[in-house]
Amino acid sequence: MRAVVQRVTHAQVQVAGETTGAIQNGFLVLLGVSRDDTEKDAEYMASKIAGLRIFDDSNDQINLSLSDVGGEVLLISQFTLYGDARKGRRPSFVHAASGEEADRLYERVATLIREQGIRVEMGVFGAMMEVTLCNHGPVTILLDSKRGF
């Protein structure tokens, strides 16, 4: 499982002109699921996202987590994080999970983050989405569950 985590002052996602998710202070997370991912990857990713300490403390050091600042998460499914463009010019997506399994694990990550007391808004799995955000810092962190445990 791969995630691009962006610290934001606000973010929203729209599908067909309708807002399906919006947050204020928190993380916009683009989440990709590979065909090899399991429940263990979802648990790792949810724990890492919820505990990631990338908000400023009173000394302007990045030292605080979502819980510390009352932050929220906008979670967006992003199969293109498993695009492989090493050969040719058109990416291959053979390493991305099938739609059904990817959706199940995407929903599982959202549930696990919510269980840690963090508000989670979501996009619509498989839909054409328009995401807007204000990246604060900018701070952007890459996470990969296969490199984490």
**Average pLDDT of the residues in 111-137:** 97
Options 9, 80, 111, 140, the catalytic residue: 80
The pTM of this model reads: 0.95
| 80 given a catalytic annotation | yes
Domains of the chain listed by start with CATH number: 2-147 (3.50.80.10)
Q: How many CA atoms lie within 13 A of 144 on its CB side?
A: 7
pLDDT(134) > 80: yes
| 116 given a catalytic annotation | no
| 79 given a catalytic annotation | yes
pLDDT at 21: 98
pLDDT at 91: 94
Q: Is 147 exposed, middle or buried (0-12, 13-18, 19+ CB in 10 A)?
A: exposed
pLDDT(149) > 60: no
